[in-house]
Structures are given as structure tokens and as C-alpha cells.
Amino acid sequence: MSAVGELTQIVSGRKKGGAKEKHRDNKAGLIFMAPWLVGLLAITLIPMIASFALAFTDYSLLAPPEFVGLANIREMISDTRLHNSLVVTFIYVFVGTPLQLVAALLLAVVLNAGIKGLAFYRSIFYLPSLLGGSVAIAILWRQMFGANGLINQVGGMLGFENLPGWVSNPDTALSTIILLHVWTFGSPMIIFLAGLRQIPEMYYEAASVDGATKLAKFFRITLPLLTPIIFFNVVLQVINAFQSFTQAFVVSGGTGGPSDSTMFYTLYLYQKGFTQFDMGYASAMAWLLLIIVAIFTAINFFVSKFWVFYDD
Amino acid sequence: MFTRRNALALGLAVPGLAGLAACGPNASGGSGGGGGEGSAATLRLAWWGNPTRDENTQNVVEAYKEVDDAVTINPEPGEWSGYWDKLATQTAGGDFPDIVQMDEKYLAEYGGRGALLDLAGAGLNTEDFVPGSVEVGELPDVGLAAINAGLNSFAFLLNPVVFEEAGVDIPDDTTWTWDDLIDTAVAISENTEDGTFGMTQMGTQQGLFQVYVRQAGQDQYKDGAAGFDIETATGWYEWTKKIQDSGAGPDASIAVEDAAKAIDQSLFATGKAAITVAWSNQVVAHDGLVPEGVVVLRPPSMTGSAADAQLWYKASMYWAVSAKTADPEAAVAFVDYLVNSPDAGAILSVERGVPGNLTVREAIVPDLDEANKKAVDFLESIESELGDAPEITPQGGGQFEDILTRAGEEMLFGTLTPAEAGQRVLDDLTAALG
Amino acid sequence: MTDLQSRPTPAAASGGGDSTAARVAPRPRPKRLVRRGVRHAIMIVASIVMIYPLLWMVVSSLRPNDEIFRNPGLFPISLDFSNYARGWESLAQPFSHYLMNSTLLVLGCVIGNLIACSLTAYAFARLKFWGRNIAFAVMLMTLMLPIHVVIVPQYIIFSQTGWVNTMLPLILPKFLATDAFFVFLMVQFIRGIPRELDEAARIDGCGHFRIFFQVILPLMLPALATTTIFTFMWMWNDFFGSLIYLTTPENFTVPLALKSFLDTQGSSDWGAMFAMSVVSLIPLFLVFLFGQRFLVKGFATTGIK
């Protein structure tokens, strides 16, 4: 039974297997897990617990924290900018992530299918991800999607008149950032490619002997064997998208504007913590985010047992 | 193993740790040595800037070795937004640098929480400073929390080439009013090709807003709260809306894009707008970007008389010393060198703004280039017209520019009326100041 | 691992899928040609969309400062290399110094992640021990808090150890498997390896360490390559962590140095910034080109069938 499998069972409330069999490798486990345990106790856990404790304080960073009970949480309930940032983030996660993953998977499969110049295309498609959150990209993006930018010039040639300034219009600014997100699909694509490469050749050979078509091989072999990797990408990309910060930060110059239309949750959290000196509130926000992300991750794990296929 | 009780204890311990660190005896962190009389001190010097300023400052640090070779100064340069994230984190960790460059926006945040040393009490000499230029660093509970590193005032910048193209004369800045400004801009917009404007959208400029409210007999802040009323805020947004509606400036979309761009990419720098606004230490940057250089004018007044323009000298930035520095004497001595020594002035020039120290200013002005002279001349020309010094931005006021911008943008896009935007600004500012 | 690398790998050099394509029954020629043409046409158009920003960056880095923003297009191309000369020299240290710092940082992080994450992942994927599920859930949770709230407490910890302004706060955590992303990634890859292989090794009397080093590690080469590429890329571009922990210019990394060219309130040296951005992309791209050769190894080419 694997970790992921068991976690799924915990979530779904099923358990099987005796306790003895379950704890067969306690000693080896401790040895292999040692670096992680030390890291957890010394580096990761203390800041997490501290941030949880700080959620109940008024902490300016510049002076010691003061306990304020549930004041931060009460404030969050009535903070309309926070509610707006949740809406913005949800749109981003539920539109951007599926689009990005589908693009990544499609291109990974195409690039894996023996097209000439594979290495070349793979490199090209990965380039945007290397540039990712750089200042240069932010400048170019604002220029391309500006009122007189490249996109509108092309649109004008195609006969579209009076196109808006995409980045500066509150109705369209978020979509340009989603587009930027989709466009940097290189990372999940690489993970898909690595996953595709790990599928044993023998399965395809056996299927060829049976006379299976290409499409049948894709649906009967490639897709099922790739599901652990697809699952990984879905889980991690959802977690990452909820915490998306850099792209909105660079494209909007850190403001989340125009009119908060690109004010992502973590961007607002960052502003609260660092520019408004309210780290207590930021910590409370962080734990709300953790709860939201944890719920979605748990759902992902629960649903995974219906579609993820493990060879073990 | 990890029990719940342990977790609880840790959770309580860490904020305590943060508190301890912030108050601890080793507060100046990695600075090492230091301390006693005449012994070698190591000081950390932090600032934000650009490659020119970084180089100037490194050179001053080098030059200081001639003055006092027992002191080692470790430079910690940074870039504006990262600088503040880092400074806040260091403060939390009890690692506040010994000497920091400070901004008016955050002076009360740090000073009001006891992070900064009273420079006057520590014996910093401020005799040669222009009247009004020292007070802008004073905080009620601290004393002289920071010393002016350069003077600034709010100015209008004109691109004479665009004026010429439009056949419009450059207005007389001793008599122009806010409406004259818009009329001039409309004339330019109409007499130039599409996409060129008389002025940029100035409704989101905090400096200009401050000029406006001061002329209405109020100010941004009064006694730590908002110092203006709803009528004034509404009046400001009505004026802002007029820029857009009259065609004097660009529409909302282009204005928002323009505001997000760096100086080099702006409408003004690319010759697409004839008039913009800036702090006077940015005159040089703008001057290099337009073909014939910029013309610097006073902001308009409500009465048509420059005497009522209510301008003031703002510190473009300050120097401040950590309240917990291991060696206050050495730190203050270095700050003294920075602001009072003509040698240091010669190296730093007016890159941080025009020196408030008159001796230093006199020593360096003759060697300035054309663009820098414009800034100095402007500051000197308004000296007799200055209004009272404004109150220092209170804690929480650092976000006022964002508040002003957000309401302004919503108004320009038509989701708020000027009156609603005025109310929004007042509400949000009041909430921010807590 | 060495014996794997010395094997001839035609797939790596010429596009891994050729062998698959060759086995597909031949189709009527013209139709096949058209299809291939269409496929390449789509790929080329897509490539242009993907590569345009890079081209723009390179072209901009060769323009004088005042031309960069006046001309949003790619043409005319000027060949003014002064940005490169200026960018290389105009900061407190020559730019090579920052490249070297970044290289050291990244190498430390890559080694740390490869060792620590693979050990942890093996335990999660193959071992049965007390508390594993909770540990796994806790590990995932560490991914869910934004860095902005954990960095301050973390800074306080590292400040007590006196490691601020060294690379230790950035590298050491990688040796302690704090990058849960890669642990989870490797767990998923290990689970894709048929269990019969380690069962067979166990029957031969191998302990966990031998199974890990001799069976699992060679087979998860694609995951290790992915980890290397990503760690390299993320740490090479890492801004916030480096910003907080590295304070003096002699310790600055490339992203901090690039920011030094910019002044949000005054005049920025855009040309130098673009030029050095291009320079700093080169190592990144080379690592990707090199690393992706290992992505295509795996079962397909290791000969285990």
C-alpha cells in the first residue's frame, strides 16, 4: 500500500491490512526519512506554527506581536477586498489550470509521437517557462496587450475596431494574466514528457502484436499509465495556482490593478504583511488559504482513486 | 514525538522569539565588533537606488576611509520595493542595519515604533540646513528621527517640442490656475495628431493631490488622521474627470497603462504628452528623455497667484540611524559626513535631491550640468512662496497612493462618480490610518 | 548510473519516438506528406508565438536605451553591443561575479534536492512505517502556505544562527528535503516502476539501500533530470529568498543584480538589464538542453524489458 493510496483511504474512511504488515519497515523508514524529519522540525514546522500563532496577533513586523484573539478573523469576514481577491484567485485557478494542463499534455503527447526535430520544438516550447516571471516579460506583456499593442494591431488588420487596452481594462486584465499562465506550460509539459518516457516499451510492443491502432494504444496504454503523473500535475498546479503571485505582481507592477481586477489572494496577503505592516492579518489570511487549498487537495486525492492507475 | 502540547508551546514561543529578537541586545545583528571608545566599528549601510546612486554611495564609503579609517562600512544596496520587504524582515529579526536610507512614507512606521535614533540628541550638526528642511525629519516621540538627504518639491514638467508642434505658448506659471492648465492641454490635444495629449492623467498623483488639498486650506493629514474633507476630495476627482472628458488627457485605459509604465516608457517621455508632473529630483531623468529637455514650472494655483501655491520642501529621502546600533557615535559621525561634508557632497552631487545644507549646496552647484541646475533653480525660485511644512505621513498612510489610485481608476472607468470616489478615498484612508 | 549513460541512445539524439513511428504500417505517401506538412506548419506557428518574447528581448538588448520602448517591433535590428559592455561592468562587481554566485547557489540546491528528495520519496513510495500517512499529509501542507508568512519566522531562526548574508539559509533546507514538490514528484515516478523489480532484488538478498541505489535510482532518471532542471531554473530565478538572505553586493545572485539596473522612481538602465538578462538565460538554456537528453531515457531505452 502506498502513501498516496493510504491517504486516499484515510480520506474515504476505509482501512485494510494488519498493523504489523503496515509497519514492516519502521527502521529503514526512519533512516530514509531522516533528512526530511530534521528539515521539518528545524526549518519548516516552526515557521508554520509561528504563522498560525501570529494569525491571532497584531504584528507589524517592526514591534513585538500583541495577542488580539479573533480580531483578524472578524476583520476578514467583512473585508470586501479580500473577498474580491478570492474571486479573482478562484477564476484564475479554475480557468487557468485546466487550460494550462490540457495544453501541456497535448503538446507532450505530440512531442512524444516521433515528429522530426523533437528536441528543437521541446526547447522552444519550454522557453517561456524559463522567462516566466521576469521583468522583461512583464514589460512585453503590457506592451503587447496595451491599447496600441501588437494584439490590437493584428486585430485591427483583421477588421476588429475599438479593441480595449487589455491589460489596463478591469474587465480584461485578469484574462491576460491567465493567458500568461497558460503560455508558460513548459513545466507541466516536461513532467508529462518524463512520465511518457517512463512507460515501458514492452506494453506497446505487445499491443502492436495484437494489432491495436495508435488511438487504441493511446487510450489503453499511454493514458492509464500516465495517470499518476497527470494526478501529480493536477494536485501541484492547483496548489501553485492558488498561491500564484509573481505573474500578477510583475504585470500589475505590484498593485493588483486596475481597480483590484488582478488582485490575487497572495498579492493582497503580501501587501497586508509587508507594505501595510499587518503580518498578523497576513498570517490569518495564509491559514484560510491553507484550509481552502487543503480541501481541494483532499478532494483531488479522494477522486483520484476512481481514475489514477498505479502499477503496484 | 511531536505532541500537541509541544506544538502549542512552540507556537507561543516563536512570536515571543520574534519579540525578543526585536528587543534583543545584539540588535544590530551581524555587524560584529564595535562598541567601546575609539575601537574599530563595523557599520551596515542600507539604501535603495540605481546603478549611479550605488556607485556614488560606494565612492563616499571609500572616501570616508580617509576621514576615519577605524570604521568599516558595509554597503547594502537594494531596489525600492525589495528594499522595504527586506528592511521589515530584518527589523523583525532584530537585524536592522546601522544606517538606513528612509522615505517619508515609512518614517513614522519605523520611527514611531522605536527603531530610529534621535539624531539631534546624538549630536548631529544641522546648523547649515535651510529653514524647514530639518523639521521634516522630526517625529513627536523620537525627536530628529531622520535627516534630510535631499530636498524635493512638486513640479510640472513640459515638453517644449510638443508645445511648438501644437503652436501653443508655454503658460506663465506665476499666474496660471487649475482651469488654465486644462485649457492649455485641450488646445494641445486638438492641435496635434491623434494619440498625442496635452497632459497626462494626474488624478492618481499623490503629490499633486497634496498640492490641491493644501491650496484648499487643508492637508493630507492632520493629527494622524485624514486632513481633508469630502468636498475637497470630490473637487479633486471632478477636476480629474475633466482631464479625461475634455480631451486634455488620455482616456482611462491609456491613462492606466501610462501610470504602470516606467518613466522611460511613459507618454511624456515618448513625446505623446506635453505636460506631466514629478518630484523635482526626477527632473534630470525626464530631461534626458525628451529631445530639447524639459521646462520646469510651478504647479497652478486656485487663485492665479504663485504666492498661494502652498508648495513645500519634501525630503526626497532621509538618512536614519538604528536606535539599537552597537556604535551610535560612529554611525552618527558617518551620517554627519554624508550631509555636512562638502567632500561627500561633491561625490553624491544632487542625485538624492538638492542638499538641504547650504554650505554643501554652494560647494557643488557650480559644477552641476544643465539638467541638474534646472532642478536647483526651481527649488530656489519657490523658496519665498513656501507654505507650512506638512505633517509627516502617519502610520498606515504609506498606502494612501494606492487608495487614491484605486478610487481614481474606478471613477475614470465610470464605476464611481467623483463624489463616490471622494467618499471612498476618505473611508479607505480613515480605515488604513486605523 | 554510469553504465546507463555509456549505452548508445539513438533516441536522445534524433528524437526519441522514431522507433515507434517506424513500426507503424506505411500509409499512402501523398496523404502522409500532407499530414506531416500540416503538423510541422502548426508547430512552426506555435513556435513563433512561444519564442517571440525571447527574440524581442535579444533585439532590445542590442538597441540604445532610448529606442527600446519607442519600437515595440523586432525590426529594424540594430547591433549595438554597448549594453552588454556596460551591463557587465556597471554594477558593484563585474557581472561574472553574480553568475558565479548563482551557479554556486544552484549547484548546492540541485545536489541537495537530488539526494534528500529521492531518499524521502523512496520511503514514501516503497516503505511501510509508522506515521507515514500523516507525514505525507504534513509534507503536502508545507506546500500550501505562501512564502510571505513563513519567511519572517524562518529569517528569525537563521538570524540566530548567524547565517544571514551567506547562502546557507538557501541551500541547507534543500539537503533536508524541504522541497515537497520534488518529493511528491519522485513518489509518483517510483510508483510507476513495477514492483516486481524490487521484489526480485529482495529475493536476491538486497537491502533497501541496494534496492534504492541499484534498482530504483537508475530507473527514475527522468524524474531526477526533471528535478535538476526545475531546481536549477527556480533557484536561478529565485528573487524573494535571495533578497531576504543576501545583503551585501559581493553575495548577490543574478536576479538581485538584474534588479539593481532598475529604479522605479528615476532612470533605469533598461538596455543593460536586457543584455544581462540574455546573458543569464544562456546557462539556464544550456542546462535545459543538456538535462532534457536524460528526460528521454527511461524504460524506453534502458533495455529493461
Packing angle between helix A279-307 and helix C132-142, nearest 10 degrees? 130
What percent of chain B clears pLDDT 90, i.e. is strictly above it? 75
Q: For position A12, what pLDDT does the model report? A: 46
| Dihedral Cα A144, B268, B154, B260, nearest 10 deg | 0
CB within 8 A of C131, min separation 6: which ones? none
Q: Is A4 on the interface with C (CB under 8 A)?
A: yes
Residue type, A61: L
Q: Please state the separation of Cα C143 from the chain's center in Å.
A: 18
CB contact under 8 A, C50 and A133: no
Distance, in Å, from the CA atom of C158 to the CA atom of C145, rounded to the nearest integer, reads 19
What residue ranges of chain B have pLDDT lower than 70? 1-39
What is the rounded distance in angstroms from the CA atom of residue C141 to the CA atom of residue C136?
9
Q: Does A12 touch chain C (CB under 8 A)?
A: no
Q: What is the pLDDT of residue B21?
A: 45
A167 touches B: beta carbon within 8 Å: yes
DSSP of B13-46, one letter per residue? HHHHHHHHHHH-TTTTGGG-S--STT--EEEEEE
Residue A30 included in any domain: no
The C-alpha cell at A235 is 494536485
Q: For residue range A102-154, list pLDDT tens digits in order.
A: 999 988 888 777 666 777 888 888 888 888 667 778 888 888 888 878 888 88
Q: Is C260 on the interface with B (CB under 8 A)?
A: yes
Residue B376: helix, strand or coil by DSSP? Answer: helix
Shortest alpha-carbon distance between residue C168 and chain B (Å): 15
Q: For residues C57 and C77, what is the distance between their CA atoms, to the nearest angstrom?
A: 12
Residue A274, in any domain of the structure: yes
Superfamily per CATH, domain B28-150+315-380 = Periplasmic binding protein-like II (3.40.190.10)
* pLDDT averaged over 10-residue windows placed end to end, chain A, 312 residues: 48 48 80 94 92 96 94 95 96 95 89 72 84 77 82 84 83 92 89 84 85 86 90 94 89 84 95 94 96 95 89 61
Which pLDDT value is given to residue A295?
A: 96
Domain boundaries, chain C: 15-80, 90-302
B423: its cell numbers: 467618499
Domain B154-311+396-433 is found in CATH 3.40.190.10: yes
Q: Which residue has the cell 485591427?
A: A156
The number of distinct structural domains making up chain A is: 1
Which site among B79, B95, B294, B372 would you substitute to test the C interface, given the most C Cβ atoms closer than 10 Å to its Cβ? B79
Q: Which spans in B292-384 are helix H?
A: 328-340, 342-348, 358-364, 370-381
Give the Cα separation of A191 and A104 in Å (integer). 9
Q: Answer for the pair C11, C296: CB distance below 8 angstroms, yes or no.
A: yes
pTM above 0.95, yes or no: no
User: Rounded to the nearest 5°, which phi and psi values hold at C89?
Assistant: -105, -20
Q: Which chains touch C (3 or more CB pairs under 8 A)?
A: A, B
Q: What is the pLDDT of residue C296?
A: 61
pLDDT for A80: 93
Q: Where are the domains of chain B?
A: 28-150+315-380, 154-311+396-433
Cα A183–chain centre separation: 14
Nearest to A256 by CA among A167, A134, A180: A167
* Binary contact (A119, C21; C-beta < 8 A): no
Which ranges of B167-289 does DSSP label H, i.e. alpha helix? 178-190, 206-215, 230-245, 252-260, 283-287
DSSP code of residue B300:
P
Dump pLDDT digits (tens) for B12-29.
Answer: 444 444 444 443 333 343
Query: B154-311+396-433: same fold as B28-150+315-380?
Result: yes
Q: Would A63 be classed as within a structural domain?
A: no
DSSP annotation of B355 reads -
Residue B18 vs residues A52, B129, C159, C224: alpha-carbon distances, Å? 14, 39, 11, 38
Chain A CB contacts of C294 under 8 Å are: none
Q: What pLDDT was estimated at residue C72?
A: 65
Residue A311 contacts C, CB cutoff 8 Å: yes
pLDDT score recorded for residue A142: 83
* Residue in C60, C262, C267, C269 to test binding to B, most B beta-carbons within 10 Å: C267
Widest CA span in chain B: 82
- CATH assignment of the domain containing A79: 1.10.3720.10
Q: Which domain holds residue A143?
A: 71-307
Interface of A with C in 218-257 (CB under 8 A): 225, 228-229, 231-232, 235-236, 239, 242-243, 245
Q: Are A149 and A67 in contact (CB under 8 A)?
A: no
Q: Does the N-terminal peptide bond of residue C76 adopt cis geometry, omega within 30 degrees of 0?
A: yes
Cα–Cα distances in Å, from B374 out to B162, B295, B353, C219?
A: 19, 8, 12, 70
Tens-place pLDDT, residues B112-165: 999 999 999 999 999 999 888 899 999 988 999 999 999 999 999 999 999 999
C-alpha cell at B368: 552641476
d(CA C73, CA C60): 9
Which CATH code for domain C90-302?
1.10.3720.10
List pLDDT tens digits, range C195-246: 888 888 888 888 899 999 988 998 888 899 999 999 999 999 999 999 999 9
Q: Which residues of chain C have pLDDT under 70?
A: 1-29, 70-72, 296-305
Please identify among residues 99-158 of chain A the ones whose CB lies closer than 8 Å to any CB of chain C: 110, 112-119, 121-137, 140, 143-144, 149-150
Q: What is the pLDDT of residue B7?
A: 40
pLDDT, residue C92, reads 85
ipTM, interface predicted TM-score of the complex: 0.86
B183 touches chain C (CB under 8 A): no
Supply the pLDDT for residue A19: 54
pLDDT digits (tens, 9 = 90+) for A244-280: 998 888 888 888 878 899 999 999 999 999 999 999 9
Measure the CA–CA gap between B427 and B421, rounded to whole angstroms: 10
Residue B75's H or E segment, with its range, is strand B71-78
**C265 interfaces chain B, CB cutoff of 8 Å:** yes
Query: Which residues 184-203 in chain C show a CB within 8 A of chain A?
Result: 184-185, 187-189, 191-195
What pLDDT, on the 0 to 100 scale, is given for residue B16? 47
pLDDT in tens, B61-87: 999 999 998 999 999 999 998 999 999
